[in-house]
Amino acid sequence: MTVPAQRMKAMRDRRRSRGLRELRLIVPDARSEVIRRSIAGQVARLDPTDERMAMDWIEDVSEFDGNDAR
């Protein structure tokens, strides 16, 4: 095993001993013009009524401090 690989293994072992685990995520690159156009198109096709209903539901099931802002 190479020195950098040994260091990474040691780091992962230390993290595991603390109850942590490495997680890697692969996500669309929002800097890409193609991705940005795709997202903009998806947002443009959203139904405002459906979105409002979803937001209302989220607010209804969320925990608040007792002061209802609506």
pLDDT tens-place string over residues 34-61: 999 999 999 999 999 999 999 999 998 9
47 falls within a domain: yes
Decide if pLDDT at 70 tops 90. Answer: no
Would residue 66 count as lying in a domain? no
Please check whether residue 45 lies inside any domain of the structure: yes
Annotate 29-49 with DSSP letters as a single string: -TTSHHHHHHHHHHHHTS-HH
51, part of any domain = yes
Domain encompassing residue 45:
30-57
- Tell me, yes or no, whether 42 lies in a domain: yes
Is pLDDT larger for residue 69 or for residue 37?
37
Q: Based on the structure, what is the number of domains in the chain?
A: 1
29's CB contacts (< 8 A; 6+ apart) are 35
- The answer to whether the CB of 59 falls within 8 A of the CB of 70 is yes
Instruction: Give pTM, 2 decimals.
Output: 0.50
Structure tokens at 56: 């209302």
What distances in angstroms separate CA 26 from CA 5, 30, 31, one per listed residue? Answer: 22, 12, 14
For residue 7, name the pLDDT band (cuts at 50, 70, 90). Answer: very high
